[in-house]
Amino acid sequence: MTVNMYGAPVDLSFKHISSLADAWIEEPSSGLRPLKKNSETKYLSCSLRLNNNDIIDLRGLQAAVNHFLAEPSQLAWLDLSFNKISHIDPVLCELHELRVLYLHGNCIFILSEVERLGVLPHLHTITLHGNVIETNKAYRNRVICALPWLKAMDFSAVTRQERVMAKIWHRNNNRSRLQCLQ
């Protein structure tokens, strides 16, 4: 029997969650589409909203996903925007079916951490604007270079020309680094 996992998102936004270890005590908000549960009272959804909270780090994310979703391995859409996250935690790399990841409006300050997400084969949409990394002149080129299959970044389509420019930027940047080492 196949179950439709594309139900309404499990919405834990605006819940004042500061620790994901405590997220399980919250009741998801009801939206326009009703949330459906299985016999184990887990939600039939592949989307999780944790935006507009006070989350600092992602410890406990996997436990929260397992608690709320009937098929946690099928998580495809994760909204962590408008929190206080400062690092791209490796736990995100375990979400192999992730297609959409919203991280805008956080405190991420190390641009190279975006490269960690390169192991997510289906990730096609990401938002990172509103983080400190956005102030880096090479921001968009580095993200597109690290995630070359992206279709959209910061709610803007990634064009073929941007992919070409990101490759050129990467090649030139690596060449400059090699010259400095010699």
Which tens digit of pLDDT belongs to each residue from 29-44? 988 888 999 999 999 9
Q: Is residue 55 part of a domain?
A: yes
Q: Is residue 65 part of a domain?
A: yes
Q: Is residue 2 part of a domain?
A: no
Amino acid at 58: L
Q: Is residue 4 part of a domain?
A: no
pLDDT tens digits for 102-150?
Answer: 999 999 999 999 999 999 999 999 999 999 999 999 999 999 999 999 9
When pLDDT is cut at 50, 70 and 90, the band that residue 175 belongs to is: low
Its domain, for residue 160, covers 10-181
Q: Is residue 5 part of a domain?
A: no
d(CA 105, CA 127): 9
Q: What angle do CA 90, 4, 124 make, to 5 degrees?
A: 40
Helices and strands of the chain, counted as H and E runs? 3, 7
CATH of the domain at 50: 3.80.10.10
pLDDT tens digits for 42-81?
Answer: 999 999 999 999 999 999 999 999 999 999 999 999 999 9
State the total domains in the chain. Answer: 1
Q: Is residue 3 part of a domain?
A: no
Q: Is residue 93 part of a domain?
A: yes
Q: Is residue 32 part of a domain?
A: yes
Is 69 in a helix, a strand, or coil?
strand
Backbone angles phi, psi at 10, to 5 degrees: -80, 115
Handedness of CA 74, 35, 155, 24 (dihedral sign): negative
